[in-house]
Amino acid sequence: MDLFDSELRVIAAAEQLVSGLGSDDNHTVAAAAMDASGRIHTGVNVFHFTGGPCAELVVIGAAAAANAGPLVTIAAVGDRNRGVLAPCGRCRQVILDLHPDALVVVPDNTTGQTSIAPIPALLPHSYRHPDSDPKRLLRFHARYFDAVADGTKTLTVRWNEGHRTGPALAYFENTAHGTLPVEVASVMVKRLDELRPEDLDLTRPSGLERYIANLRGHYPTMPADASVEIVRFRRTAADI
Which residues are catalytically annotated? 56
* Residues 115/3, Cβ–Cβ less than 8 Å: yes
Q: In angstroms, what is the C-alpha Rg of the chain?
A: 19
* Residues 144/177, Cβ–Cβ less than 8 Å: no
Using CA atoms, how far apart are residues 156 and 233, in angstroms rounded to an integer? 8
Instruction: Kindly state the DSSP code that residue 192 receives in the 8-state scheme.
Output: G
Cβ-proximal residues to 9 (8 Å cutoff; 6+ apart), any chain:
34, 40
Q: How many residues does the chain have?
A: 240
Torsional sign, CA 208, 210, 213, 214: negative
Q: Which of 38, 234, 36 is nearest to 148 (CA)?
A: 234
Using CA atoms, how far apart are residues 214 and 143, in angstroms rounded to an integer? 14
